[in-house]
Amino acid sequence: MNNTILLPMKNISNTGLIAAIVLLASCGGKKDQQAAVNPASLPVPVTVTNVQTIDAVYYDDYPAILVPLNQSEIRAQVTGYITGVHFTDGAKVSKGQRLYSIDQQMYQANYDAALANVAVQQTNVTKAQKDADRYHQLDKEDAIAKQQVDYADAALAAAKKQLAATQAQANAVRSNVRFANIYAPFSGTIGISQVRVGTSVVAGQTVLNTVSTDNPMSVDIAVDQKEIYRFTQLQQANKVDSTFSLVFGTDVYPAHGKVTLIDRAVDPQTGSIKIRLSFPNDKQMLKAGMSATVRVLNASGNNSIVIPHKAVSEQLGEFFVYVVGDSSKVTQRKVVLGKALEDNVIVKDGLKTGEKIVVQGVQNLKEGAIISVDTAKKQLPASTK
């Protein structure tokens, strides 16, 4: 016996048709909604901040070399053997202090001979003078020929010239005797001697030592010619304050310096000019030839626009930021950057105080993009160093 219950075909057809219509309508609605939502038109989540004007205080760094204010090589002025070294290496010396002595026996003997020659010539001048005086007296009495008087005058003139020549020669030899003792040209610190007792030295060639001043110590830097006016003002101020600092790696020298001179001309090859500063060196911590960095306080950043560096994007050597406009749309704007201040940077041109710029999410933006804004909580400090 068959227990299957058969429904009317008409009822089955109507029910399936209704279900199919509902299913198709549902699928079609979802596709329409997905088509209506374009990911490119969704707001881009970013963080923005207000452009601020602050007093930016920072330092400009310049490579520097330490040089003595005065320095001189000590060279032998006569040839001979060193007979004495009259100082301690690295010691302080005073102007006029004897440093070295060179064997002067030969020079002293030559000087003695020159003095003897001067004495001989002086005797000749005395004799010629007496002859001339006598002949002139006879000429007054008309007791001698004029020619004899002229001969006597000529002999006297020749004797005087010969005397002058021998005196000059004696002075030259005396200079050699004096040069056999070498004295400090000025007060300062002397280095390690390059010669010892018994060393043979040659006049004008052998360097015996070097003397230099070291307190104060000079520091040379090269700056662009555009900064001449700035450093001229600093020189005229003639103040020793925190404007100039000397840095060795991470160590800062405890004393400050000042500008002492600006070179006479700009180097046409580099467009730079040499600036010389001086720093006190009471504790002898500074040595000639050392390399360092001079930090110069720059207060020209007063009322400067400073923004986070991460807000800036670079394209082909130019810099841009995204500025928030009406309807939450962003516009890419070119800016001119100045000094970098750690995580921030000074903007010289391109932005105004009060404008909003994107600081996070820049990489996801393009011109005219719509953003969803999350205002940055972290604000720039009142001053930046």
Q: pLDDT digit string (tens) for 302-359?
A: 778 889 999 999 998 899 999 998 888 999 999 999 888 888 888 988 999 889 999 9
- What architecture (CATH level 2) is domain 45-56+301-384? Beta Barrel (2.40)
Q: Which fold has domain 73-102+181-212?
A: OB fold (Dihydrolipoamide Acetyltransferase, E2P) (2.40.50)
User: What one-character DSSP code corresponds to residue 284?
Assistant: -
- Residue 56 has a pLDDT of 77
CATH topology of domain 61-69+213-299: Elongation Factor Tu (Ef-tu); domain 3 (2.40.30)
Please write the tens of the pLDDT for every residue from 25-63: 455 555 555 545 555 568 889 999 999 888 877 888 999
**What SS3 class is residue 229?**
helix
Tell me, yes or no, if the two domains 45-56+301-384 and 73-102+181-212 fold the same way.
no
| C-beta neighbour count of 258 within 10 angstroms | 18
Lowest mean pLDDT among 116-120, 251-255, 258-262, 297-301: 297-301
Tokens of 28: 């079609």
For residue 232, what pLDDT is reported?
Answer: 94
Q: What is the mean predicted confidence (pLDDT) over 15-34?
A: 50
Return mean pLDDT, the chain: 85
pLDDT reading at 378 higher than 50: no
Contacts of 290 (CB under 8 A, 6+ apart): 65, 66, 248
Q: Is 6 helix (H, G, I), strand (E, B) or coil?
A: coil
Query: How is residue 145 annotated by DSSP?
Result: -
pTM: 0.61
Confidence of residue 13 (pLDDT cuts 50, 70, 90): very low
Buried (b) or exposed (e) across 201-220, using 16+ Cβ within 10 A?
beeeebebbbbbbbbbbbbb
CA 46 to CA 2: how far, in whole Å?
73
The answer for residues whose C-beta is within 8 angstroms of residue 122's C-beta and 6 or more apart is 163
Cα–Cα distance measured from residue 214 to residue 33, given in angstroms and rounded to the nearest whole number = 84
Fold category of 104-179 in CATH: Helix Hairpins (1.10.287)
Q: What is the predicted pLDDT for the residue at 5?
A: 41
Q: How far apart are CA 279 and CA 33, in angstroms?
A: 76
Q: How far is CA 15 from the centre of its chain?
A: 94
User: Given the DSSP bridges, would you call strands 383-384 and 188-190 parallel, antiparallel or unpaired?
Assistant: unpaired
Task: Tell me the CA distances in angstroms from 40 to 43, 213, 265, 367, one per residue in order.
Answer: 8, 72, 60, 13
Query: What's the rounded Cα separation, in Å, for the pair 332 and 368?
Result: 8
Domain spans of the chain, in order of start? 45-56+301-384, 61-69+213-299, 73-102+181-212, 104-179
